[in-house]
Amino acid sequence: MALQFTSSHLEDSLSLFRYYKKLAEDAMAQVTDGELTVTLDGEMNSIALIVKHMAGNMRSRWTDFLTTDGEKPLRQRDSEFVEPPATRAELMQLWEEGWDCVWRALGPLSEIDLVRTVTIRGENHSVMQAINRQLAHYPYHVGQIVMLAKHFRGEQWKSLSVPRNRSAEFNQKDSSEKSVGEFRLGQLAK
């Protein structure tokens, strides 16, 4: 399926959120349970802590999205960077719960809602700005997850994009056959 472009900011945003969610999941699937909690140095976060932070952010930003500040009073952001979930199952449950907040908040919106005002940390944003803010934030952390997973796998890493030294081969494929990992580019539009 070829990449389909829409004129809907919401549809495109949801497609990008789904893409980056899957990218992180495909990276996490390549690491061992133990590697989920490994940090490379004292200033870095493990994959599990990055996921815990993202899930906390998602709960805060997207719960009651249109009616309450995106930084909820009960959120303890600093605690998101300590004590990772004990198991992969707990980590993935936290991950799915976070993303569920995204889908529940954005699913019912229409393009008209994009100009509505929401607050994050007391600052006014249009709904479109709030979505764009998270479309910058989540891929930033997904990139960290991918980098850590790639580091842990080394030469056993299965590329999630165009494999190294295979760009020409990738570019020659019919656009309907091109994929990024197991995720077909055309699925972005779904």
pTM of the entire structure?
0.86
* Number of domains, the chain: 1
- Residue 172's pLDDT is what? 80
- Please say whether the beta carbons of 131 and 139 come within 8 A: no
Mean pLDDT across the chain: 90
Residue of 17, 16, 15, 96 whose CA lies nearest to 51: 96
- C-alpha to C-alpha distance for 32 and 129, rounded to whole angstroms: 37
Average pLDDT over residues 15-40: 97
What is the tens place of the pLDDT at every residue in 110-151? Answer: 999 999 999 999 999 999 999 999 999 999 999 999 999 999
Average pLDDT over residues 49-57: 98
- Domain containing 30 equals 9-189
4 lies in some domain: no
123 lies in some domain: yes
156 lies in some domain: yes
- C-alpha to C-alpha distance for 74 and 164, rounded to whole angstroms: 44
- C-alpha to C-alpha distance for 36 and 55, rounded to whole angstroms: 15
166 lies in some domain: yes
135 lies in some domain: yes
Largest CA distance in the chain: 52
**Residue 164 sits in a domain of what CATH number?**
1.20.120.450
CA dihedral 14, 19, 22, 26 (to 10 degrees): -170
What is the tens place of the pLDDT at every residue in 148-173? Answer: 999 999 999 999 987 777 788 878 87
Kindly indicate the confidence band of residue 179, based on its pLDDT and cuts at 50, 70 and 90.
Answer: low
